[in-house]
Chain A
Amino acid sequence: MEQVAVNPWVALAYLVSGVCFILALRGLSSPTTSQRGNRYGMIGMAIAVVTTLVTHVPTVSLIVEGEDYAAILSRVDKSAVFEILAAIGVGAAIGITTARRIAMTAMPQLVAAFHSLVGLAAVLVAVAAYLNPVAFGIADVVTPLIGQPFAVIHQVSRIEMILGVAIGAITFSGSVIAFLKLNGNMGGAPILLPARHPINLGLGLAIAWFAFSFWATQSPWDFWIVVLLSFAIGFLLIVPIGGADMPVVVSMLNSYSGWAAAAMGFTLHNTAMIITGALVGSSGAILSYIMCRAMNRSFISVIAGGFGQTAEAGGAGGAKVDRPWKRGSAEDAAFLMSQAEQVIIVPGYGMAVAQAQHVLREMADKLKEHGVRVKYAIHPVAGRMPGHMNVLLAEANVPYDEVFELEDINSEFAQTDVAFVIGANDVTNPAAKTDKTSPIYGMPVLDVEKAKTVLFVKRSMGGVGYAGVDNDVFYMDNTMMLLADAKKMVEEIVKSLD
């Protein structure tokens, strides 16, 4: 039944390309090897693209076996070649310009936008393969006694194709919503439709039914219905998920874009696509798992959405209680930190919003001049995507060996003079350790309250964190609240440190 004539050299080239992609991810195990890894990725991609271009040259008529090169060359459809190269050129120009101009704080929405493109490209390839299956070597042409000859797509290919198109469509519409939320075009708050679980379940079952029917009959109706329903379910799945759960969503969509590529790899019998799909798919899945673990929530509960809505009712009551708290000034903060032996800075999403990373580094430099040891503590879900804070600090020239993950630094707070919390809240809340009724109970948190002094930069006392829970750290004797815009406050501290 196999129709694809696989030239061993071609198969080998795709295998090499797949191995390059493995090396690309392997390089990311350390910042020192990461750039070399990225170059492996580029080489792998170049091999895959060139191999495909050479083995699928568009021709004006079929190449006859045994023809010499000159004859083959004369059959090449030059305008088609030009179109393909132009398409690559247009994409390259848009891609490189975007990559150069994008602000580091906008990285989460850029990644979401890129995911949507992978999803849409997968849909386009699947549709193209459906419309012209013979060109992809996945169909037999049957000539009936009466009527036109038609292509019968192999049944295995039908499953692979319908899976690819469905996952691609979900990735596309889900990523578009994630992009709109991250970019602020759409409110970050979860939008909850009544009966959304039955609707999603119904849609999922419908997709499965029509996919099964496509497998059995190759009916165009089934194919297009699956495409439409998949777009719809991707949209409905992401709409009810709130802003701070975006790290999980972005990771999940990352995973989906991989599975979509893998499904198309099965259709095309292409090793590079299958290896890449498996790598990207597991990468996204692992990142989602890490993010969920860091929030102590199950993947299902994040995807079910609506976090923070129910919690607000319970948490708001706690926030109303008038408890005494201390307010500090930039001068106080500057004095306390300059006298310290060690300061640990805890950045959160608020730092990204205020674009305070550069001035924060200036502050750390000033403190170092005073002989203070400065470290940064990063919670895995700080920010809107995995590793978001690390990139922002790297952008501000903070050396990566001053930046520590939660488990590596948490024991140090007890021996630290000042914990400087900027734009983070829930990830420092001790209620996660003690209060079983709290919605964030069980989430691993940074033990900032153990430091001798906690400086908490926050816009105002009114707002509570994303989870809608009050934070006991605000009211502790050793806490000083610095109420201001994060960037302005740090700028003032820098001035006072002179």
Chain B
Amino acid sequence: MDFVAILSIFVLACFVGYYVVWSVTPALHTPLMAVTNAISSVIIVGALIASAAAGSTGSKWLGLLGVVLASINIFGGFAVTSRMLAMYKKKERPAVAKH
């Protein structure tokens, strides 16, 4: 892929992000932050490449440390998001019937 192709993906993704995020209901802004946190840890891809590569011991260990940090974020981020989302409940039926 050349630079312009990558840049195109990036610019279009920014637009997608803009519209998708505006459609997120304000009540879910905290889970939004938690889940964006988790997905931005896709940076683990870079850490995995570094820790699997031969040629530099320093690079390998930094990569492994990066894998640990990103994994904390991935597992922690998704787990805490699902914990939060599970708490959002609609009004129970009997309560609605009262009105």
Residues of A within 8 A of B (CB): 2, 4, 6, 11, 17-18, 21-22, 24-26, 28-32, 34-35, 37-38, 41-42, 44-45, 48-49, 52-53, 56-59, 80, 83-84, 87-92, 94-96, 98-100, 102, 104, 107, 110-111, 114-115, 117-118, 120-122, 124-125, 127-129, 131-132, 134-136, 156, 250-251, 254, 257-258, 260-262, 264-284, 286-287, 290, 368, 373, 378, 380, 385-388, 390-391, 394-395, 397, 399-403, 405
In terms of DSSP, what is the predominant structure of the interface of chain A?
helix
CA A281 – CA B63 in complex, angstroms? 23
Contact A45 B42 (CB under 8 A): yes
B88 and A98 contacting across the interface, CB-CB below 8 Å: no
Given A45-B39, A88-B67, the answer on whether A95 and B13 have CB atoms closer than 8 Å is no
State which residues 1-51 of B face A: CB under 8 Å. Answer: 1-3, 6, 9-11, 13-14, 16-18, 20-51
A103–B99 Cα distance when bound, in Å, is 34
- Best-buried of A94, A110, A128, A397 by chain B (most CB within 10 Å): A128
Q: Contact check, A26 vs B20: say whether CB atoms are below 8 A apart.
A: yes
Known contacts A117-B69, A387-B28, A387-B30; decide if A124 and B91 are in contact (CB<8 Å). no
9 more CB-based (< 8 A) A-B contacts, given A25-B35, A390-B30: A91-B73, A98-B76, A99-B77, A121-B44, A135-B50, A135-B54, A260-B43, A276-B39, A283-B21
Answer whether A390 and B27 are a contact pair too, CB < 8 Å, given A31-B88, A56-B53: yes
Given contacts A25-B21, A31-B85, A282-B18, is CB(A95)–CB(B31) below 8 Å?
Answer: no
**Which residues from B are CB-within-8-Å of A279?**
13, 16-17, 20-21, 36, 39
| Interchain nearest-CB distance for A260 vs B (Å) | 7
Q: Mark B65-78, 1 if CB is under 8 A from A, else 0.
A: 11111111111111
* Interface pair B33/A250, CB less than 8 Å apart: yes
Closest A-B pairs by Cβ, 10 of them = A91-B71, A95-B76, A387-B29, A135-B53, A282-B17, A95-B75, A278-B13, A99-B79, A386-B29, A128-B50
- Residue numbers in A under 8 Å from B58 (CB-CB): 128, 131-132
Contact A92 B27 (CB under 8 A): no
CB neighbours of B38 from chain A (8 A): 41, 45, 114
Kindly identify which residue among B3, B25, B49 contacts A56, using a CB–CB cutoff of 8 Å: B49
Which chain A residues border B30 with CB–CB below 8 Å? 107, 111, 385-388, 390-391
Residue of chain B at shortest CB distance from A92: B75
Nearest residue, chain A, Cβ from B23: A29
A405-B21 Cα distance, complex, nearest whole Å: 17
A57, B99: Cα distance in complex, Å: 62
Q: Name the A residues within 8 Å of B17 (CB-CB).
A: 25, 278-283
Q: Which residues of A contact B83 (CB under 8 A)?
A: 99-100
A156 to B49 alpha-carbon distance, docked (Å): 20
Which among B26, B37, B81 is the interface contact of A386 at CB below 8 angstroms?
B26
Contact B29 A287 (CB under 8 A): yes
A58 proximity list for chain B (CB < 8 A): 51-54
Q: A32 vs B38: C-alpha distance in the bound complex, in angstroms? A: 20
Least Cβ distance of B39 to chain A in Å?
5
Is B97 located at the chain interface by the 8 A CB criterion? Answer: no
Q: B10 contacts which chain A residues (CB < 8 A)?
A: 262, 265-266, 274, 277-278
Q: Are the C-beta atoms of B89 and A117 separated by less than 8 Å?
A: no
Docked pose: A269 CA to B10 CA in angstroms = 11
- In-complex Cβ contact of B40 among A90, A258, A267 (8 A): A258
Given contact pairs A25-B32, A275-B9, A387-B29, A397 touches B14 in the complex (Cβ within 8 A): no
Identify the closest chain A residue to B66 (Cβ): A124
Point out the residues of chain B lying under 8 angstroms from A92, CB to CB: 71-72, 74-75
A105 CB, min distance to chain B CBs, angstroms: 12
- B52: chain A residues at CB < 8 Å are 53, 56-58, 80, 84
A28-B28 CB under 8 A given contacts A99-B76, A99-B80, A129-B46: yes
Given contacts A34-B88, A84-B67, A286-B22, contact A114 B46 (CB under 8 A): no
* Minimum CB–CB distance for B91 against chain A, Å: 4
Which residues does B use to contact A, with CB under 8 Å?
Answer: 1-3, 6, 9-11, 13-14, 16-18, 20-56, 58-60, 62-92, 95, 98-99
A303 to B13, CA, bound (A): 26
A281 to chain B, nearest CB (A): 7
Complex Cα gap A400–B86 (Å): 12
Q: A283–B32 Cα gap in the complex (Å)? A: 8
Pick 29 A–B contacts, CB within 8 A, sort by A.
Answer: A4-B1, A11-B1, A25-B24, A31-B85, A31-B88, A35-B86, A38-B85, A45-B74, A48-B42, A56-B52, A84-B64, A91-B71, A99-B75, A107-B84, A114-B34, A124-B66, A125-B50, A128-B58, A260-B43, A265-B6, A268-B46, A268-B49, A273-B43, A280-B17, A283-B32, A286-B18, A287-B33, A400-B90, A403-B27
Choice from A121, A135, A387 contacting B66 with Cβ under 8 Å: A121
Set of chain A residues within 8 Å of B59, measured between Cβ atoms: 127-129, 131-132, 135
A272 and B6 in contact, given A44-B39, A59-B54 (Cβ under 8 angstroms): no
Q: What distance in Å separates the Cβ of A178 from its nearest Cβ neighbour in chain B?
A: 12
Which residues of chain A are near B62, meaning CB under 8 Å?
A: 124-125, 127-128, 131
Q: Do A31 and B36 touch across chains, with their CB atoms under 8 A apart?
A: no
* Interchain CB contact under 8 A, B50 and A132: yes
Measured between beta carbons, the chain B residues less than 8 angstroms from A131 are 56, 58-59, 62
Say yes or no: A387-B37 contact (C-beta < 8 A), given A98-B76, A125-B50, A127-B62.
no
